[in-house]
């Protein structure tokens, strides 16, 4: 049996929750016996205590109560324990006599804690947490990295002795079967957003984290707005007050559409209908929206940094982070239906690399290499 360790629900790390579910479903579909466990909210439910105290109460759930549960679970002797998110790597210290795999999605916070520029600064306690995560990664038998960039960071930052932990590159699959839709079906899903109508738009998918560079998205769009009457759609986090203020200063207020927390079907329709996904992130561990957009035939404009270029492959239109004029020029190029169709075909071809079944099979091979009898 493969034991998966997922994330604490109250941390609301949606991408990590999706990854754990992908692993559970993908491994089950491949015929492996698999179980997913995660820390459950108990003390952390008392939100009236205020955010600061609630955070520390949640630590009791994650690092005291869950450790007891994990020790009991280990009596069932799973063949392999797979910690699905490297931010929980410290659990590896509680596991003895069973191979441990940790999926490393990025080490940006670790790098930030070491003073490196990753747009992910760390507080004093955050630096302690990141050191704890690295010490947990040291205890793993294998670290599965989701991109070459993450793998290079792991090789540089995680101490290894006698070749342990081994480093494996296992590219992510899609967390939902995104696909190209019939135009009428895609538009029907967007019908309730009257601000979009039947008009064209450029899309950004993500959060307000500094490394997502939503400020850059606005500046790029502002360069193109006078030559195109499209809208700018932000899907994910609602814009912060400072971002709304920037949009106002750039004269974009009547062109911006916010779609907070879209479900997968709605996001699929947005990718299908968008002129392009605009994704000028400063740093990423993988860049799931690039793969998702490509699976829907949506061209992607992204930064010419790893891992964005790794994920986008030959289908990405890439520019240096500071070349906002170049981003805007390519966006205007994609307004032409023939030009967009050419890049859409490249996107669909690139998306074939992101099979969830392929990802599950690669993890299964890794498990068997660590515990052949499993």
pLDDT tier at 163, thresholds 50, 70, 90: confident
Does residue 199 register a pLDDT over 90? no
Fold matches, 2-173+356-370 and 183-351: yes
| Cβ-proximal residues to 318 (8 Å cutoff; 6+ apart), any chain | 301, 302, 303, 304, 308, 309, 312
Q: What is the pLDDT of residues 329-371, one digit of tens each?
A: 999 999 999 999 999 999 999 999 999 999 999 999 999 999 8
Answer whether 208's CB lies under 8 Å from 119's CB: no
Does residue 57 register a pLDDT over 90? no
Q: What is the pLDDT of residues 94-143, one digit of tens each?
A: 999 999 999 999 999 999 999 999 998 888 888 999 999 999 999 999 99
As a whole number of angstroms, the distance between CA 201 and CA 232 comes to 6
Query: How far apart are the two ends of the chain, measured CA to CA in Å?
Result: 7
| Cβ-proximal residues to 374 (8 Å cutoff; 6+ apart), any chain | 1, 2, 79, 80, 367, 368
Nearest to 1 by CA among 27, 29, 26: 27
Answer whether 340's CB lies under 8 Å from 180's CB: no
pLDDT tier at 16, thresholds 50, 70, 90: very high
As a whole number of angstroms, the distance between CA 324 and CA 319 comes to 8
SS3 of residue 107 by DSSP = coil
Neighbours of 76 (CB within 10 A): 9
As a whole number of angstroms, the distance between CA 127 and CA 159 comes to 17
Give the model's pLDDT for residue 14: 86
Worst-scoring range by mean pLDDT, 97-111, 119-133, 278-292, 298-312? 119-133
% of the chain with per-residue pLDDT over 70: 98
Q: Copy the structure tokens of residue 186.
A: 């895609």
As a whole number of angstroms, the distance between CA 13 and CA 208 comes to 14
- β-partners of residue 3 are 35, 81
State whether CATH 3.40.50.2000 applies to domain 183-351. Answer: yes
Name the superfamily (CATH) of residues 2-173+356-370.
Answer: Glycogen Phosphorylase B; (3.40.50.2000)
Give the model's pLDDT for residue 10: 86
pLDDT (average), residues 284-300 = 97
As a whole number of angstroms, the distance between CA 332 and CA 311 comes to 23
Does residue 49 register a pLDDT over 70? no
pLDDT (average), residues 29-51 = 83
Give the model's pLDDT for residue 12: 81
Give the model's pLDDT for residue 59: 86
As a whole number of angstroms, the distance between CA 316 and CA 251 comes to 28
Give the model's pLDDT for residue 229: 92
Domain ranges in the chain? Answer: 2-173+356-370, 183-351
Does residue 51 register a pLDDT over 80? no
Neighbours of 201 (CB within 10 A): 22
């Amino acid at each position: 049996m493969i034991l998966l360790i997922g994330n604490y629900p109250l941390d609301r790390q949606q991408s990590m929750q999706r990854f754990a579910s992908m692993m559970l479903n993908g491994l089950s579909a491949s015929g492996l016996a698999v179980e997913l466990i995660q820390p459950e909210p108990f003390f952390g439910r008392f939100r009236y205590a205020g955010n600061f105290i609630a955070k520390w109460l949640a630590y009791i759930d994650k690092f005291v109560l869950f450790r007891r549960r994990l020790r009991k679970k280990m009596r069932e002797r799973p063949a392999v324990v797979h910690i699905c998110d490297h931010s929980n790597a410290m659990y590896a210290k509680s596991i003895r006599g069973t191979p441990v795999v940790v999926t490393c999605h990025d080490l940006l916070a670790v790098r930030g804690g070491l003073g490196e520029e990753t747009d992910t600064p760390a507080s004093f306690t955050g630096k302690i947490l990141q050191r704890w995560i690295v010490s947990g990664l040291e205890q793993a038998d294998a670290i599965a990295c989701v991109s070459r960039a993450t793998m290079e960071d792991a090789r540089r930052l995680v101490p290894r002795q006698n070749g342990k932990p081994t480093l494996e590159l296992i590219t992510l699959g899609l967390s939902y079967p995104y696909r190209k839709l019939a135009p009428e079906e895609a538009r029907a899903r967007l019908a309730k957003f009257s601000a979009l109508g039947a008009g064209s738009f450029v899309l950004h998918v993500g959060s307000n984290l500094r490394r997502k560079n939503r400020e850059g998205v606005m500046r790029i769009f502002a360069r193109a707005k006078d030559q195109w009457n499209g809208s700018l759609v932000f899907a994910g986090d609602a814009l912060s007050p400072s971002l709304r203020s920037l949009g106002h200063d750039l004269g974009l207020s009547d062109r911006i559409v916010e779609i907070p927390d879209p479900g997968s079907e709605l996001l699929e329709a947005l990718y299908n209908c968008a002129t392009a996904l605009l994704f000028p992130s400063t740093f990423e561990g993988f860049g799931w929206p690039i793969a998702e957009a490509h699976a829907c035939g949506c061209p992607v404009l992204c930064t010419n940094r790893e891992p964005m270029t790794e994920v986008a492959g030959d289908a990405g239109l890439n520019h240096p982070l500071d070349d906002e004029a170049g981003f805007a020029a390519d966006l205007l190029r994609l307004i032409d239906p023939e030009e967009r169709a050419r890049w859409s075909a490249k996107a669909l071809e690139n998306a074939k690399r992101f099979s969830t079944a392929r990802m599950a099979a690669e993890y299964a091979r890794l498990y068997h290499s660590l515990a052949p009898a499993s």
